[in-house]
Structure 1
Amino acid sequence: MLRIEIDGEPPTIDHFAPGLLANYGHFTAMQVRDRRAKGLDLHLRRLDQANRELYGKELPGDHVRALISQALGDDVRDATVRVIVFGVDEPSVMVVVRTPYGSPATPQRLMSVDYTRPLPHVKHIGGFGQIHHGKLAERAGYDGALLTDDGVVVESAIANIAFLDDAGDVVWPQADWLHGITMQLLERGLPTRREVVRLTDLGRYRGAFVTNSIGVAAVSRIDDVEFTVDGPALARVQAIYDAIPADPFD
């Protein structure tokens, strides 16, 4: 399944190519179930804030909701939806509807790389560095890349990462990362704290997990550090995430 609309209309080459070739813009991604999405208010706020920063103008949430609802049509209830705002001067809003995804079935293995995203607080398009390091990690036998800054853990290439201390409490790295929607949702219902996490200190944590638009996934390895998957602790995190109500588009 693939459905694309730009500003509520079928895409044309004239509309599609100039803006995307400039490789400038921002986006958000969400999982839609029964025409609802968790943290829809946060997704709309993210788009509006990024639009104000990159283009100097607001992006009304009601407008975005209407574009998503239209792109889903009357027949699609479950999907992966990506809203991409692109263009150099005058932005266009593209809604991409694809097959829904679920969290990885197996724990993730991450390879650390010394790389951080430019303008990290914005979920912007043009993630060449993330994709490149992710592919290098996969070629080395890992599932993805863990971005670090001079040995300080930041985020994974496509997700936030959290660690479990000896008491089972959740620790997010203190760094310049993207404040992910799933991370924000979990912070609402799960006691957490932030602290600087260094690669040299990974052994003092009992576990780790990553969060992004497809949910929560355990981490079993970072470089040569192995983590035992803490089933009860991760089940508690998953239960809190599952209990978060989803918001309708209509």
Structure 2
Amino acid sequence: MPSFVVQRNGQAASATELAPLAFAGYAHFTAMQVRGSRIRGLDLHLDRLRSASVELFGRALPHDRVRTLLRKALEAGPADLSLTATVYSSAGEFTAADTDLEPELLVRTGPAADGPQGPLSLAVVEHERVLPAVKHVGEVAKTYLLRQAVGQGFDDAAFVDHRGRLSEGTIWNLAFWDGTAVVWPEAEMLIGTTMAIVRRQLDLLGVPQRVQEVTPADLPRLAGAVVMNSWTPGVSVHRIGTVPMPEAPSFQEVLHQAWHAEPRTAP
């Protein structure tokens, strides 16, 4: 059974169909890790695709249709894999909106991934994403800033906005620990599905959490930091800019407990 498939609207995509999409930059997506043919936070992924489609295209595919296409892709691969679902319009880029066209769905699968072990060091870079609430494609700045950070001796980059607030990483959400509560940065950002899963499970577990502005000047008063995305609920961060961050094993434990409390569901 192959570990990688590419399907367009539920059918194997041909090179001719994929060619116009190779470098297209007007689309959005969601990425997930599938284990045992099941997905954590499936409802969050579906809601993300719906809201982003309405924002970009003025209409969205029904949840049932998306679930059918995800299920078809999963049936073509192993039980454990990575999956990316990208929504785009055949109208393409640099055209006026055409809301008469139904969005199309491209599903790609590949080998399962768990992310880096960490701990990571993050350069602090001033950057604000366009349409930060949408997980959209064509974001050259994220790769560029990652590579700039690595060239400076860091592992990755964390963004600060024009007000000096930490927001998110290149492909990560940020989370902090004050010793007893999880602290989520307040800024314009993409709310990741892993972040949303952890937040709702922390509520159920009774773990304190809050949202507040976090600037680089606030970091010395915090007791830990992590990054998270679809790979993992928490990779430890040991330095942000010039500020060392303490190890926080209890923070990691809390985040992983919340993550594993979320049931996996089948599309």
* TM-score normalized with structure 1 length: 0.94
- 2:248 equivalent among 230, 234, 241: 230
Letter of the 2:224 partner, please give it.
G
Q: Give the superposition deviation at 1:19.
A: 4.1
Q: Which residue of 2 aligns with 1:173?
A: 185
Q: Residues 174 and 194 of structure 1 are in contact (CA less than 8 Å); yes or no, is this contact kept in structure 2?
A: yes
- 1:45 equivalent among 47, 50, 69: 47
Residue aligned with 2:11, SS: coil
Q: Residues 226 and 235 of structure 2 are in contact (CA less than 8 Å); yes or no, is this contact kept in structure 1?
A: yes
* TM-score normalized with structure 2 length: 0.88
Letter of the 2:141 partner, please give it.
G
Q: Which residue of 1 aligns with 2:74?
A: 72
**Counterpart mapping for 1:29-40 below 5 A:** 29-40=31-42
Q: Which residue of 2 aligns with 1:97?
A: 109
Q: Determine the C-alpha separation between the residues in 2 that align with 1:231 and 1:80.
A: 27
State the Cα RMSD in Å: 1.5
Residues 16-73 of structure 1, C-alpha deviation per residue, up to 9 Å, x if partnerless? 2334544101000000000001000000010011111111112211211111121122
Q: Say whether residues 1:153 and 2:169 are aligned partners.
A: no
Q: Residues 28 and 134 of structure 2 are in contact (CA less than 8 Å); yes or no, is this contact kept in structure 1?
A: yes
Q: Say whether residues 1:245 and 2:263 are aligned partners.
A: yes
Q: Residues 23 and 86 of structure 1 are in contact (CA less than 8 Å); yes or no, is this contact kept in structure 2?
A: no
Q: Say whether residues 1:3 and 2:5 are aligned partners.
A: yes
Q: Determine the C-alpha separation between the residues in 2 that align with 1:236 and 1:101.
A: 22
Residue aligned with 2:79, SS: coil
**Counterpart mapping for 1:199-238 below 5 A:** 199-215=216-232, 216-238=234-256
Q: Residues 122 and 239 of structure 2 are in contact (CA less than 8 Å); yes or no, is this contact kept in structure 1?
A: yes
Letter of the 1:81 partner, please give it.
L
Once the two structures are overlaid, the 10-residue window that deviates more, 120-129 or 65-74, is 65-74
Q: Determine the C-alpha separation between the residues in 2 that align with 1:54 and 1:19.
A: 16
Q: Determine the C-alpha separation between the residues in 1 that align with 2:144 and 2:72.
A: 34
Q: Residues 110 and 137 of structure 1 are in contact (CA less than 8 Å); yes or no, is this contact kept in structure 2?
A: yes
Q: Give the superposition deviation at 1:221.
A: 0.8
Letter of the 1:124 partner, please give it.
H
Q: Give the superposition deviation at 1:15.
A: 2.2
- 1:108 equivalent among 120, 126, 140: 120
Q: Say whether residues 1:187 and 2:205 are aligned partners.
A: no
- Give unpaired runs (5+ residues) of structure 2: 93-97, 203-207
Residue aligned with 2:13, SS: coil
Q: Residues 20 and 86 of structure 1 are in contact (CA less than 8 Å); yes or no, is this contact kept in structure 2?
A: no
- Give unpaired runs (5+ residues) of structure 1: none
Residue aligned with 1:119, SS: coil
Once the two structures are overlaid, the 10-residue window that deviates more, 90-99 or 13-22, is 13-22
Q: Which runs of 4+ in 1 moved over 3 A?
A: 19-22
Q: Give the superposition deviation at 1:103.
A: 3.5
Q: Determine the C-alpha separation between the residues in 2 that align with 1:75 and 1:83.
A: 15
